[in-house]
Amino acid sequence: MGSRASSLLREEDIEEIKKETGFSHSQITRLYSRFHSLDKGENGALSREDFQRIPELAINPLGDRIINAFFPEGEDQANFRGFMRTLAHFRPVEDNEKNKDLTSGEPLNSRTNKLLFAFRLYDLDRDDKISRDELLQVLRMMVGVNISDEQLGSIADRTIQEADTNGDMCISFSEFIKVLEKVDVEQKMSIRFLH
Amino acid sequence: MFPLSHLICMLLGISFTVWFTLLLVFIIVPAIFGVSFGIRRLYMKSLIKLFEWATLRMERGAKEKNQHLYKPYSNGIIAKEPVSLEQEIQDMRRGGAEPEFDMSDIFYFCRRGVESIVDDEVTKRFTAEELESWNLLTRSNYNFHHISTRLTALWGVGVLIRYGFLLPLRVTLAFTGVGLLVVLTSIVGLFPNGRMKNYLSDKVHLMCYRICVRALTAIITYHDSENKPKNGGICVANHTSPIDVIILASDGCYAMVGQVHGGLMGVIQRAMVKACPHIWFERSEVKDRHLVAKRLSDHVADKSKLPILIFPEGTCINNTSVMMFKKGSFEIGCTVYPVAIKYDPRFGDAFWNSSKFGMVNYLLHMMSSWAIVCSVWYLPPMSRMEGEDAVQFANRVKAAIARKGGLADLLWDGGLKRGKVKEVFKEEQQKLYSKVLVGSSEDGSSS
């Protein structure tokens, strides 16, 4: 019988998520409905298979990396709090003006945190540096078989050369921020959630 | 004691007689002649008023408690930008004549990926459509709160009516309809082939389907009946449930296509094919595309045979969209008569979620809903144009059906309900990106 989705989400939980992420009450209930509909096993958490069942995500070249971002280090299950925390990175920055009751500290959807999200897509081993290999891996995921190893290698070298300022042949987070300082990150990494 | 039990028997006898007479007069006789008293439409109008009243009460209840009423947004949780990969990447390039890799290129894929996690076009088509407001059925009450005692009482009365009165009535009718179908088609099958047999077969089929329509309390509005399918053509329609067949076949005569089943279905199939030629395939034959195409073409070439009814999506979709049409029926090269079917979900959800419910469960749901209300549009016939291949033709027909029925037109395969998406789509995305990356230096040479 139909999914009684929001009856499983308590008001206190909604308030906490609201404070932590900045989503509105109705946004949280609707995202919970979505979470619940993805959760085919009905165990209150999403597995990687649940995400891969979404065709549009399965054909996304970076699909696996994006799915990874929803799972905390070493875990196989994503609960609703974690789901919302990850989605919060994509809230538009303008929405913060409307919602003043966030806790202190940087909101999850600040420019820096959006960049950190993107950085972590490259930095698979979480050592806070994008090595040449990690860059090549992401490039290979995005182009498939259409570009040769040599060409891809030279693209990677060029990119690292441009970005690397301290000569360690890796891109650190601060170098990453510097390279992208002119890009409109707030707009490109935001999703327009309806109220 | 003796006179009392005698009295009870008499009463039971009388009530049965009355019951059956009413059934006969108000339901079966009109079904035979194809007329209607208009009782069902009246019923539908009263239900609409009831739902509106229920919504108002819920809104009032919400206002009193100073909370928001849950409103499922049928237009989505997010607003998506219809920007293509190339456009976005060009936008992000800062000056620079040669498009090169930029670390911000991943933003596009990243955002699209997360957008699809929040709201994608495909997975929501395989579950029942969410209603805008509650229709007093427990099964569609997912997030509706502020249900006052009056509403609950009304719901209780609804349960009594639906399960105590409507369900037994409908089950009786269903058995009558199916029983008559089997018996009468077998009798017609004894006639020699010819005009008389075809005439009788048509009448028998129509009558029994009409009884089945009443067994579901289906209120159907047919539009543009001048475009009804004719002999020697194929009728294609969007698929939401097995009931689609009953709905179309109660207004016209079709040759059905399907797999041979065992059990009750098998009995019905064998009886039907005695009266007029339907196309039933053995399980093994279904895989053989050439055999299937040959049998369909042979049937279509014989102008004395009825138009074939096919559902090219291949599976049940939830009636908010039309998914990929399989090209098999469009390769045959005859006239195609598209039909759009749109159900009104307020009265009862017709979608069969076969991964959640079996057939019996599904029929029980159908027969204990308020009603099945739908609209059927007969579209003008279409044929394959010069230079158009089967896939393009199929997409053109699909677009026409989607437009008429107010459904979303999707390219995705209905088979994604159960299976994984093909790798080739990901490879297309990768190819697209590669072109953007090295496109200008390899213009023309990349395919």
Residue B322: predicted pLDDT: 92
Q: Is B68–A25 a contact, with Cβ atoms under 8 angstroms apart?
A: yes
Whole-angstrom distance, CA of residue B33 vs CA of residue B206 = 9
Please report, for residues A37, A155, B113, B143, B413, the alpha-carbon distance to residue B120 in angstroms, rounded to integers and kept in the order given: 12, 33, 10, 21, 14
Whole-angstrom distance, CA of residue A117 vs CA of residue A122 = 9
Phi-psi region of B75 (alpha: psi -120 to 50; beta: other; left: phi over 0): alpha
- Minimal Cα–Cα distance from A160 to chain B, Å? 10
Give me the residue spans of the domains in chain A: 12-89, 106-194
Residue from B255, B256, B254, B250 nearest B214 by CA: B250
- Minimal Cα–Cα distance from A108 to chain B, Å? 15
Residue from B321, B365, B420 nearest B139 by CA: B365
Q: Which residue has the higher pLDDT, A70 or B37?
A: A70
Four-way CATH pick for B151-412: 3.40.1130, 3.40.50, 3.40.1000, 3.30.1490? 3.40.1130
Q: Using one digit for the tens of pLDDT, what is the confidence trace for B183-204?
A: 999 898 888 888 888 888 888 8
Question: B238 pLDDT exceeds 90?
Answer: yes
Fold of A106-194: Recoverin; domain 1 (1.10.238)
Q: Which of B67, B75, B91, B110 to mutate to test the interface with A (most CBs of A within 10 A)?
A: B110
Q: Which of B70, B114, B422, B438 to mutate to test the interface with A (most CBs of A within 10 A)?
A: B114
Length of chain A counted residue by residue: 195
Question: B339 pLDDT exceeds 90?
Answer: yes
A-B contacts (CB, under 8 Å): 188
Question: B336 pLDDT exceeds 90?
Answer: yes
Least CB-CB distance to B122: which of A55, A122, A189? A55
Residue of chain B with shortest Cα separation from A35: B118
Q: Using one digit for the tens of pLDDT, what is the confidence trace for B376-434?
A: 999 999 999 988 899 999 999 999 999 999 998 988 888 888 888 888 888 888 888 88
Q: Which of A38, A40, A60, A173 to mutate to test the interface with B (most CBs of B within 10 A)?
A: A60
Residue of chain B with shortest Cα separation from A29: B70
| ipTM attached to this prediction | 0.91
Q: Three-state SS across B112-149? A: HHHHHHHCCCCHHHHCCCCCCCCCCCHHHCCCCCCCCH
Least CB-CB distance to B123: which of A7, A54, A138? A54
How many Cα atoms occupy the beta-carbon half-sphere of A176 within 13 Å?
25
Q: Using one digit for the tens of pLDDT, what is the confidence trace for B74-107?
A: 556 787 777 777 777 776 665 554 557 778 888 9
Q: Which residue has the higher pLDDT, B293 or A1?
A: B293
Whole-angstrom distance, CA of residue B196 vs CA of residue A37 = 54
Residue B73 buriedness (CB in 10 A; 0-12 / 13-18 / 19+)? middle
Give the number of other CB atoms < 10 A from CB of residue A42. Answer: 8
Helix, strand, or coil (residue B377):
strand
Question: B440 pLDDT exceeds 80?
Answer: no
Question: Positive or negative CA dihedral for A26, A31, A34, A39?
Answer: negative
Q: Using one digit for the tens of pLDDT, what is the confidence trace for B353-374?
A: 887 888 888 888 888 888 889 9
Cα B321–Cα B327–Cα B331 angle in degrees, nearest 5: 140
CA dihedral B55→B61→B64→B66, nearest 10 degrees, is -80
Helix, strand, or coil (residue B382):
strand
Residue A7: predicted pLDDT: 55
- Minimal Cα–Cα distance from A105 to chain B, Å? 24
Question: B321 pLDDT exceeds 60?
Answer: yes
Q: Is B77–A194 a contact, with Cβ atoms under 8 angstroms apart?
A: yes
Whole-angstrom distance, CA of residue B137 vs CA of residue B159 = 8
Same fold, A12-89 and A106-194: yes
Q: Is B113–A63 a contact, with Cβ atoms under 8 angstroms apart?
A: yes
- Minimal Cα–Cα distance from B82 to chain A, Å? 12
Domain A12-89: top CATH class: mainly alpha
Residue A2: predicted pLDDT: 37
Residue A195: predicted pLDDT: 74
Question: B25 pLDDT exceeds 90?
Answer: no
The H-assigned helical ranges of chain A are 11-21, 25-38, 48-52, 55-58, 63-69, 80-88, 95-98, 111-122, 132-143, 149-163, 173-179, 185-188
Residue B1: predicted pLDDT: 58
Residue B443: predicted pLDDT: 41
pLDDT band at B145 (very low <50, low <70, confident <90, very high): low
How many Cα atoms occupy the beta-carbon half-sphere of B335 within 13 Å?
14
Q: Which residues on chain A are in Cβ contact (under 8 Å) with B412?
A: 55
Q: Is B438–A151 a contact, with Cβ atoms under 8 angstroms apart?
A: yes
- Minimal Cα–Cα distance from A139 to chain B, Å? 9
* Low-confidence residues in chain A, pLDDT < 70: 1-7, 95-105
Q: DSSP letter at B166?
A: I
pLDDT band at B445 (very low <50, low <70, confident <90, very high): very low
- Minimal Cα–Cα distance from B227 to chain A, Å? 37
Q: Is B117–A117 a contact, with Cβ atoms under 8 angstroms apart?
A: no
Least CB-CB distance to A31: which of B77, B80, B140? B77
